[in-house]
Amino acid sequence: MKALYKAGAQPGFELVDRPEPKTGEFDVKIRVMTTGICGTDLHILNWDAWAQSTIEAPLIPGHEFYGEVVEIGAEVRDVKVGDRVSGEGHIVCGTCRNCRAGRRQMCIRTQSVGVQRDGAFAEYVVIPETNVWVHQDPSITPELGAVFDPLGNATHTALAFPVLGEDVLITGAGPIGLMAIAVARHAGARKIAITDVSAPRLELARQMGVDYAIDVSAMRIKDAQKELGMREGFDIGLEMSGHPTALPEMIENMNHGGRIAMLGLPAAKIDIDWAKVVTHMLTLKGIYGREMYETWYAMSAMLTSNPALHAGISSIVTDVLPATEWAAGFAEAKSGVGGKVVLDWTVF
């Protein structure tokens, strides 16, 4: 099969022929149709400090995907050949305290598809049946199915705290931040503001229906509050960027008792005014991945029941390229100016 491959501990990928993965008795083999490019994949491509400390090459990366089941193991019960599926990329042990208590997203032995084991930047990928999400809704296109993983991140973050009637601040208008606009709106948020420095991404946010798109290189968040007619700070904060200035600025603009969900991985150490966190009684909650599998049910239900949300999330996929043009796709994803980039693996 064709696959993007990191042969050793150095920057770059190669599009090469690799053996097809074998299907174990509890596994499902999927013919990959589309894959999304994630920030994690950029780290692996560049072989930065995080990748060097986390990845063991050789490796086939990629964890956001959509495809068709072509083979199932002898012990697979519910997934069938021909099913159209996406995959939960966190493979858990099933026996640690959190797994046994039903908190599988907090498994202490999590292994990630495309990070600690071969992933989906290939014509075929094998994952356990427990990690397969079967799409029952025929309106889920290959492009939309490829971004269920990041949509799950956005949904998990946006619904970490009740947002009904609340004013929501999102820092970072990348694809997941843009998705969070649609989820927070669906869940009943009152005012939604988002920050970034990329004019194209802020324009995408306006198209998603955000109430205020703030260019933080030219405007302070507190001034945007006045423009929105807000008398107090934001009730809910969704930190999606990982930028070292984003969280302190968010804390500065939260209402007393405000709640912050943090998805963005910090790119550097962050100085936080902990006195304000204490005296304003703020809550900070870390978010990693998706709840298994409540998040998957929630986002599928939202997409099925809300055509506007379905259209909005679909519109975030701004570039679809054949897998043979993977380098151009990665360059576009790295540019930080557009929406989600998807590779088409049906071209070989």
What pLDDT, in 10s, does the model give residues 288-319?
999 999 999 999 999 999 999 999 999 999 99
Structural domain spans, the chain: 2-147+316-344, 156-286
Name the fold adopted by 2-147+316-344.
Quinone Oxidoreductase; Chain A, domain 1 (3.90.180)
Q: Give the model confidence (pLDDT) of 15-44 as tens digits.
A: 999 999 999 999 999 999 999 999 999 999
- The reply to whether domains 2-147+316-344 and 156-286 share a CATH topology is no
43 among known catalytic residues? yes
The Cα angle at residue 173 between residues 171 and 179, in degrees rounded to 5: 105
As a whole number of angstroms, the distance between CA 296 and CA 44 comes to 26
Q: Give the model confidence (pLDDT) of 80-129 as tens digits.
A: 999 999 999 999 999 999 999 999 999 999 999 999 999 999 999 999 99
Amino acid letter, residue 237: G
Confidence of residue 336 (pLDDT cuts 50, 70, 90): confident
Question: Of the candidates 239, 234, 206, which has an alpha carbon nearest to the alpha carbon of residue 221?
Answer: 234
40 among known catalytic residues? yes
Q: Specify the CATH superfamily of domain 156-286.
A: NAD(P)-binding Rossmann-like Domain (3.40.50.720)
| Catalytic entry in 23, 35, 40, 195 | 40
pLDDT at 240: 96
Strand 132-134 with 90-91, pairing: unpaired
| Catalytic entry in 23, 34, 35, 43 | 43
Task: Give the pTM.
Answer: 0.94
pLDDT at 50: 87
As a whole number of angstroms, the distance between CA 283 and CA 293 comes to 24
- Asked whether the predicted pLDDT for residue 266 surpasses 90, the reply is no
